[in-house]
């Protein structure tokens, strides 16, 4: 699809979450306008349009006027994630090499049962069952053919087998099919011929080839990635087509851009072959915005913490680079081989349900979602949630929730906590509510600690960003034990991932496994040739999208490698420069530096032999970003420490009972300081400053909470 180059006008970013759909609109002057709406799981596009209308109303224009003047519309969606979790994807088939039809069922032993799910569920051996495969066994077809590990044809493709598979797929009404043949990433000829035959026999059938979706080693993971892509492609294509057509009818002139798990965007025409990359794209938007904020404020090490209605997500930026992973689980037992920004999540959001087994108070991972939602919403929910606890503890103002558009019911929150927790455990309601807050906060702090330490990183060397609608009420409490340098709540914290969508670059990623011993003769030339081939493909794709000329002008190419010591089973991903000069030296220096960070410098073997396993390339066209707007500085005798507008009684087990000062977040100016205990109330979130800490507003409107020294 051709995509004209926009200049000037509105930039829109929308992120669909489990409870709320967030929207950011950046106008031509660089001013950021934000709002949100309740998510609509039955049709996520409704929530997206509702959020856009809410922002338009704040600006004083119609949503049609924004669309008519919009030069970029970027969207992070949960449609694919929900389809996987809820098993609402399409009827999909699988064509594989004969003799390997049971790969999806066998998986990797217990991996299909105990991975990709919360720890507490994985340890529930009695009730935890292996999930059903995404492809029914009757729709899995083996075809005669064989490539060897060098990509040489050992046995030719039996086209009669493909014809039989096509007839069975047509009879079953399959919408999509995955093709994953042995060693196809070394030679895709047989897969490409299978596609030709299937297209001729079953017109309209969507076909995903493993040599295009995941051309990397690992038979089971490569097959699973291709199957997931095939499972989601029709669902995602229908949703994006419907959304894009509706927006175009209302005046949008440019193609919708879709946020991927790699932290960039792709176009609707790419969805069918890159559907798997759209899973978890929304949360990655927060990392994009965090990296931009780090550039603005001058820090390179960032821990991102995002607490919304359903989950608590943690990401890392180290030395200005987002930490990534080459393989991740998108659902129980569903590993996908796709380089993605590393985001670790637990079920700990504002809607997370608190419950008891009769002896313990537990929180999550199940969520009340937006409907019925927490009990205090008054939508029929009866389960106590984190949000209900916040209301009972006085941390959340019932009259100010969602900008005052939704009044929370304290009585319903108390009833739910009393019936489901307090009475069964022999506690009073306030103590039970404080227990919910303490438990969920401790779980979040522990996740941040685990995430940093597992990467060989020290949280004391990082700035922590707290965003999402719920994180600012917990950030100081979960950050204090970590001794981070600074805790920052951005002015767009409740819609930070949507802001990241709006700021994200157009980004395509490529990978190819081609194991190579670094010390082997001609290794540098071979590696250079592989990168050159990937770069030609990337430039061609960018040119086809309309964002680059045939010579690749305007495209930034970033080379990466999965590397290991000979004899090891897992790799580390490193970055190398775009130059082929001294490639071997580059690889060794970068790999040993990363190895030392992860495992310690004393673990590096002397004269260790290095293997290059997978070659990766990232191609991006940088998005135009307006300069960060500054806010006014308070002048005169009112500058510095502020007096609260009013007070409210609050209680937590960690900080005790206190009379907290209440401050209007909209009225804070650069240089203002707030001493705890205090609550900064904004239309989209509330920031908790505990006793003994203080906060200060910087020139860009960010609230810095000092959790390492007492307030004076």
Q: Does residue 333 surpass a pLDDT of 90? A: no
In residues, how long is the chain? 712
What is the percent of the chain with per-residue pLDDT over 90, rounded to a whole number?
Answer: 65
Q: What is the CA radius of gyration of the chain?
A: 26
User: Over 60: is that where the pLDDT of 5 sits?
Assistant: no
Collapsing DSSP to helix, strand or coil, 110 comes out as coil
Q: What is the mean pLDDT of the chain?
A: 89
Per-residue pLDDT reduced to its tens digit, 91-149: 999 999 999 999 888 887 666 666 776 666 666 666 777 778 899 999 999 999 999 99
C-alpha span between 110 and 124 (Å, rounded): 14
pLDDT in tens, 567-592: 898 899 999 987 888 888 999 999 99
Mean pLDDT throughout 315-327?
A: 90
β-pairing, 463-467 vs 328-329, is unpaired
Long-range contacts, stretch 576-585, CB < 8 angstroms, 24+ apart: 580/524, 580/528, 580/531, 583/524, 583/527, 583/528, 584/518, 584/519, 584/523, 584/524
Q: State the Cα–Cα distance between residues 471 and 95, nearest whole angstrom.
A: 45
pLDDT at 168: 96
Contact 94, 104 (CB under 8 A): yes
Which DSSP string corresponds to 176-225? EEEEE-TTTTT--HHHHHHHHHHHHHSTT-EEEEHHHH--SS-HHHHHHH
Q: Which residues contact 711 (CB under 8 A, 6 or more apart)?
A: 675, 676, 692, 693, 694
Contact criterion met (CB below 8 Å) for 609 and 566:
yes
Neighbours of 693 (CB within 10 A): 25
User: Which pLDDT value is given to residue 123?
Assistant: 66
At residue 299, the pLDDT reads 93
CA pair distance 265, 506, nearest whole angstrom: 5
Q: Residue 549: what pLDDT? A: 62
Give pLDDT tens digits for 478-501.
999 999 999 999 999 989 999 999
Greater model confidence, 332 or 289: 289
Residue-wise pLDDT tens digits, 143-156: 999 999 999 999 99
Tokens 């890159």, located at residue = 274
Distance from C-alpha of 217 to C-alpha of 571, rounded to nearest angstrom: 12
pLDDT exceeding 70 applies to what percent of the chain? Answer: 94
Residue 644 has pLDDT above 60, yes or no: yes
Interhelix angle 44-59/219-249, nearest 10 degrees: 50
DSSP state of 609: -
pLDDT digits over 270-317, tens only? 899 899 999 888 889 999 999 999 999 999 999 999 998 888 999 999
Give residue 135's pLDDT. 93
Indicate if the pLDDT at residue 667 is higher than 80: yes
**pLDDT score for 152:** 95
Q: Does the structure show a pLDDT above 50 at 710?
A: no
Residue 39 has pLDDT above 90, yes or no: no
Q: Which residue has the higher pLDDT, 548 or 447?
A: 447
CA distance linking residue 303 with residue 503, whole number of Å: 19
pLDDT (average), residues 173-188: 95
Cα separation, 657 vs 639, whole angstroms? 29
Question: What mean pLDDT comes out for the span 431-455?
Answer: 95
Q: Cα–Cα distance between 76 and 456 in angstroms, integer?
A: 30
In three-state secondary structure terms, 246 is: helix
Instruction: Give the confidence band of 422 by pLDDT, cuts at 50, 70, 90.
Output: very high
Rounded Cα–Cα distance for residues 90 and 237 (Å): 11
Each residue of 190-207: pLDDT tens digit?
999 999 999 999 999 999
Torsion angles phi and psi, residue 601, rounded to 5: -65, -25
For residue 547, what are its two tokens? 């964002």
More confident call, 543 vs 677: 677
């Amino acid at each position: 699809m051709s995509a004209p180059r926009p200049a000037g006008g509105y930039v829109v970013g929308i992120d669909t979450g489990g409870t709320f759909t967030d929207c950011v609109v950046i106008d031509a002057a660089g001013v950021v306008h934000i709002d949100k709406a309740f998510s609509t799981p039955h049709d996520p596009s409704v929530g997206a349009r509702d959020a856009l209308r809410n922002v338009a109303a704040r600006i004083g224009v119609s949503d049609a006027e924004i669309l008519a003047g919009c030069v970029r519309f970027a969207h992070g969606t949960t449609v694919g994630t929900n389809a996987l979790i809820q098993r609402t994807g399409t009827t999909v088939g699988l064509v594989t090499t004969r003799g390997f039809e049971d790969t999806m069922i066998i998986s990797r032993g217990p991996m299909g049962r105990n991975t990709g799910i919360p720890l507490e569920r994985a340890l529930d051996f009695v009730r935890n069952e292996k999930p059903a495969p995404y492809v029914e066994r009757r729709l899995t077809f083996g075809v005669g053919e064989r490539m060897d590990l060098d990509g040489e044809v050992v046995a030719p493709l039996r086209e009669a087998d493909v014809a039989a598979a096509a007839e069975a797929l047509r009879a079953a009404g399959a919408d999509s099919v995955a093709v994953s043949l042995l060693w196809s990433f070394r030679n895709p000829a047989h897969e490409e011929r299978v596609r030709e035959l299937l297209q001729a026999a079953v017109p309209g059938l969507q076909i995903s080839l493993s040599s295009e979706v995941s051309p990397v080693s690992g038979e089971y993971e490569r097959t699973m990635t291709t199957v997931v892509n095939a499972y989601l492609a029709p669902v995602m294509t229908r949703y994006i087509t419907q959304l894009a057509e509706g927006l175009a009818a209302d005046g949008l002139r440019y193609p919708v851009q879709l946020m991927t798990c790699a932290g960039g965007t792709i176009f609707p025409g790419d969805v069918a072959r890159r559907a798997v990359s759209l899973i978890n794209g929304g949360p990655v938007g927060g990392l994009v915005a965090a990296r931009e904020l780090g550039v603005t404020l001058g820090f390179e090490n960032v821990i991102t913490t995002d607490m919304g209605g359903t989950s608590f997500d943690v990401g890392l930026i180290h030395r200005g680079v987002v930490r990534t992973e080459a393989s991740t689980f998108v659902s129980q037992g569903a590993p996908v081989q796709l380089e993605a920004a590393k985001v670790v999540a637990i079920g700990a959001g504002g809607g997370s349900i608190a419950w008891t087994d009769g002896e313990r108070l537990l929180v999550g991972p199940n969520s009340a979602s937006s409907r019925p939602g927490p009990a205090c919403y008054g939508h029929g929910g009866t389960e106590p949630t984190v949000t209900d606890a916040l209301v009972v503890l006085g941390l959340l103002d019932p009259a100010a929730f969602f900008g005052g558009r939704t009044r929370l019911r304290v009585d319903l929150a108390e009833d739910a906590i009393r019936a489901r927790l307090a009475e069964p455990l022999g506690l009073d309601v306030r103590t039970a509510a404080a227990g919910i807050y303490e438990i969920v906060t401790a779980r979040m702090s522990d996740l941040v600690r685990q995430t940093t330490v597992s990467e060989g990183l020290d949280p004391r060397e990082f700035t922590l960003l707290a965003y999402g609608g719920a994180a600012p009420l917990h950030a100081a409490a979960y950050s204090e034990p970590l001794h981070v340098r600074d805790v920052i709540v951005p002015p767009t914290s409740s819609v930070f991932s949507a802001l990241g969508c709006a700021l994200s670059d157009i980004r395509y990623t490529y990978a190819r496994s081609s194991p190579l011993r670094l010390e082997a003769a001609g290794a540098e030339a071979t590696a250079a040739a592989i990168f050159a081939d990937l770069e030609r493909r990337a430039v061609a794709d960018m040119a086809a999208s309309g964002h680059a000329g045939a010579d690749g002008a305007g495209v930034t190419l970033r080379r990466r490698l999965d590397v290991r010591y000979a004899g090891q089973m897992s790799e580390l991903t490193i970055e190398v420069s775009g130059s082929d000069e001294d490639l071997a030296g580059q690889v060794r220096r970068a790999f040993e530096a990363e190895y030392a960070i992860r495992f310690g410098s004393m673990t590096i073997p002397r004269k260790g032999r290095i293997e290059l396993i997978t070659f990766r390339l990232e191609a991006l066209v940088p998005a135009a970003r307006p300069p960060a707007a500054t806010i006014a500085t308070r002048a005169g005798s009112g500058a510095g420490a502020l007096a609260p507008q009013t007070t409210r009684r609050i209680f937590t087990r960690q900080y005790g009972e206190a009379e907290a000062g209440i401050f209007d977040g909209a009225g804070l100016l650069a240089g203002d300081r707030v001493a705890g205990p205090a609550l900064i109330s904004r239309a989209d979130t509330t920031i908790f400053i505990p006793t003994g800490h203080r906060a200060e507003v910087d020139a860009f409107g960010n609230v810095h909470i000092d959790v390492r020294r007492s307030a004076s």
